[in-house]
Chains A and B, each alone.
Chain A
């Protein structure tokens, strides 16, 4: 391997993880540099994420119809590989709960993993507190742990949809086969729907049925997008920079491979 034997070997990094560490550190440093630039008054232009802009529309519709809004982060938990998606979903829930508190719209949060239960309840209470309506908060009714079993969870959510007929449904988190079931059931009862997941096989289902879709990396930007803090805005900017860099690397790699060079592949294995 041409990249072995570099002075970095002194650090005793696990073989094959040099590039991962370098990328992580570069992203970290660029994020901090971006924050410093933002503090000096520089503001990046950013496009709007239609799915997040539509949260107010969902709550407004529910307020007009006198019906609740339903939210689910799926049945993923705060431990495991899908936890970043759950955290992103909870960021959306925090904003949605705040809007619901503002317009006095009941919200139902269906949880499929007990680790999310306490966090969702706390976010719900914080939202009502921020709107000065803590006396109207009913976390014991709004935040519902259903089950940890996939299709039992799907059935339970479908049951809530049929019984309580929410005017809007927001699903942001990791979803598996139950995604199509949720989207179809809520479509049938006439809910306006916003869906977001980073699980690529479920995105087409959501794209077909839901009104707004938050795709892939847009989902991880939700927390930053909604809070609009300098650090968060900076991290979205860095995310796009790194995406451009990854695209450039792909093109360079493509050219290198077509010219018969394996250097790029070795570099990725570094």
Chain B
């Protein structure tokens, strides 16, 4: 019973659902003409909606997990400094939940109505932008280490990297137009060739992973690898 419940039934569900979505992709055109196409479309769309609903419902588990971790951290912390960020997380989480539930879309309590947008615009967006902007420093330190001519490949990377940076400067655009042509050529041919090679092989890998999943060989998504 356990094997049936934990392995065979989930694998059968995966196979049937995967097959319906595949059939929908290959046999249902944009302009439906046959009743069987309409039925296939209905089942495909219903399954997709179920997946989206389940994914959103699971956010609740995420909230429980994050709450447990930080509650435990608050209880175990020896100083207020250690507790501070966990307490702050609960305060912000409560603020967002209250404003999200009661403030928008102007359902229950209108004084809170504009606050969701305010939180998004003046709290989340600047924070995101700040962290994103800090990326440039990480890139600079990464490039500093990468652009070292220790090997032939490293030297090639150094030259191309230097030219790519110089490509954007007015000095080189005015006095060394050959740099522009060289970088354009590198970006258009060798770089695109390498990217496409990776893209094609990655796409084939994804197809094989899909087939393994459909036939029940890849079981990692079930939470076990037996």
CB pair A243 B204 closer than 8 Å = yes
CB pair B220 A12 closer than 8 Å = no
Complex: how many Å from CA A217 to CA B72? 40
CB pair B26 A205 closer than 8 Å = no
CB pair B135 A180 closer than 8 Å = yes
Asked whether any CB of chain B lies closer than 8 Å to the CB of A117, the reply is: yes
Chain A residues within an 8 Å CB radius of B205: 84, 198, 216-221, 239
Determine chain A's interface SS by DSSP, over half rule. Answer: helix
> How extensive is the interface on chain A, given as a class?
35 or more
User: A198 and B139 in contact (CB under 8 A), knowing A21-B26, A31-B208, A117-B65?
Assistant: no
Chain B residues within an 8 Å CB radius of A246: 200, 204
Within 8 A of A (CB), among B185-215: 195, 198-202, 204-213, 215
Chain A residues within an 8 Å CB radius of B51: 79
Nearest-CB residue, chain A, relative to B207: A27
Asked whether any CB of chain B lies closer than 8 Å to the CB of A152, the reply is: yes
CB pair A223 B198 closer than 8 Å = no
Nearest-CB residue, chain A, relative to B33: A12
Nearest-CB residue, chain B, relative to A215: B198
CB pair A119 B223 closer than 8 Å = yes
Q: How distant is B18 from chain A, measured CB to nearest CB, in Å?
A: 12
Chain B positions 49 through 64: 1 when the CB is less than 8 Å from some CB of chain A, otherwise 0 = 0011011001111100
Chain A residues within an 8 Å CB radius of B59: 114, 148
CB pair B207 A126 closer than 8 Å = no
CB pair A114 B61 closer than 8 Å = yes
User: A118 and B223 in contact (CB under 8 A), knowing A155-B131, A180-B138?
Assistant: yes
In-complex Cβ contact of B27 among A14, A79, A147, A242 (8 A): A14
In-complex Cβ contact of A146 among B29, B66, B212, B222 (8 A): B66
Chain A residues within an 8 Å CB radius of B16: none
Within 8 A of B (CB), among A204-261: 205, 208-209, 215-221, 223-224, 227, 229, 231-232, 235-236, 238-239, 242-243, 246
Asked whether any CB of chain B lies closer than 8 Å to the CB of A67, the reply is: no
Complex: how many Å from CA A140 to CA B139? 34
CB pair B58 A84 closer than 8 Å = no
In-complex Cβ contact of A144 among B65, B138, B204, B207 (8 A): B65
Q: How distant is A40 from chain B, measured CB to nearest CB, in Å?
A: 19
Chain A residues within an 8 Å CB radius of B34: 12
Asked whether any CB of chain A lies closer than 8 Å to the CB of B224, the reply is: yes
CB pair A126 B224 closer than 8 Å = yes
Nearest-CB residue, chain A, relative to B195: A200
Chain A residues within an 8 Å CB radius of B60: 114
Q: How distant is A52 from chain B, measured CB to nearest CB, in Å?
A: 14
Chain B positions 116 through 146: 1 when the CB is less than 8 Å from some CB of chain A, otherwise 0 = 0000000010011001101100110111011
Asked whether any CB of chain A lies closer than 8 Å to the CB of B5, the reply is: no
CB pair A224 B212 closer than 8 Å = yes
CB pair A123 B58 closer than 8 Å = no
Residue picked from A114, A155, A198, most chain B C-beta under 10 Å: A114
User: A28 and B211 in contact (CB under 8 A), knowing A17-B25, A91-B225?
Assistant: yes
Complex: how many Å from CA A88 to CA B124? 31
Complex: how many Å from CA A91 to CA B223? 9
Chain A residues within an 8 Å CB radius of B62: 114, 117, 145, 148
CB pair A200 B198 closer than 8 Å = yes
User: A205 and B200 in contact (CB under 8 A), knowing A88-B209, A119-B222, A219-B205?
Assistant: no
Asked whether any CB of chain B lies closer than 8 Å to the CB of A181, the reply is: yes
Complex: how many Å from CA A185 to CA B134? 12
A-B contact pairs, 11 of them (CB 8 A): A17-B26, A31-B215, A94-B220, A114-B59, A115-B58, A147-B66, A177-B135, A180-B139, A198-B205, A216-B201, A223-B225
> Which A residues form the contact surface with B (CB < 8 A)?
11-15, 17, 20-21, 23-24, 27-28, 31, 77-79, 84, 87-88, 90-91, 94, 114-115, 117-119, 121-123, 126, 140-141, 143-152, 154-155, 177, 180-181, 183-185, 198, 200, 203, 205, 208-209, 215-221, 223-224, 227, 229, 231-232, 235-236, 238-239, 242-243, 246
17 further A-B pairs in the complex, CB-CB below 8 A; given A14-B25, A14-B29: A24-B211, A31-B208, A78-B221, A79-B51, A79-B52, A90-B220, A91-B225, A122-B222, A122-B223, A126-B225, A140-B72, A198-B202, A216-B198, A220-B208, A229-B217, A235-B211, A243-B204
